[in-house]
A = this chain, B = another copy of it.
Amino acid sequence: MNLSNGEEQLMNIIWEKGKAFMKDLLESLPEPKPAVTTVATLLKRLSDKGAIGYTVFGNSREYYPLIQKKTYFSTKVNELVKNFFNNSPSQFASFFTQETDMSQKELESLKKIIEDQLKNKTP
Contacts and interface: CB of A to CB of B under 8 A. Distances in A.
A90 B110 contact: yes
A94 B109 contact: yes
Interface residues of A, number: 43
A73 B83 CA distance: 11
Contact of A121 (B9, B76, B81, B104): B104
A102 B115 CA distance: 13
Contact of A12 (B76, B84, B104): B84
A113 B94 contact: yes
Given A78-B100, A90-B102, 16 more contacts: A12-B83, A12-B84, A69-B84, A70-B99, A76-B80, A88-B106, A89-B101, A89-B102, A89-B106, A93-B110, A94-B109, A98-B117, A104-B121, A107-B121, A110-B114, A111-B118
Majority SS of interface residues in chain A? Answer: helix
| The 3 nearest A-B residue pairs measured at CB | A90-B106, A89-B100, A74-B99
A100 to B, nearest CB: 4
